[in-house]
Structure 1
């Protein structure tokens, strides 16, 4: 799971802006934001650079998530 939605909202950034910067479709970014799909490691690093956050800030630890939700 990721925190892309939370970071975008806290910075006041629209998904369309991120899709332009990342050169991905809005639908792809939206699927990341809604946690329907997870970005590749490479894209996660690109997103962290674009949003000027540590890549770790984009991730949610899975230690406390029940196995059936992973």
Structure 2
């Protein structure tokens, strides 16, 4: 069972931004960004802050509130 730990996919959808565009902006591969978006893999703290800065949001907004996991 995989838990959703980040909201990257939802935020990209809300902003109308593609995973391909985010991959180019971060210098990461599309596969890496896709794994983050699907919660297969979690970004490092540094990558989380970089993604937040690119998306012009708080890094906290990318994370799922622990209470939502229950």
Quote the residue 1:44 is aligned against. 48
Q: TM-score, normalised by structure 1?
A: 0.89
Structure 1 unaligned runs (5+)?
A: none
Q: Figure out how many residues of one structure are paired with residues of the other and give that number.
A: 66
Q: Could you give the per-residue CA deviations for residues 12-37 of structure 1, whole angstroms, max 9, x where no partner exists?
A: 00000000000000000000000000
Computing the radius of gyration from Cα coordinates, the structure with the larger value is 1
Structure 2 unaligned runs (5+)?
A: none
Quote the residue 1:28 is aligned against. 32
Q: TM-score, normalised by structure 2?
A: 0.89
- Secondary structure of 1:63's partner? helix
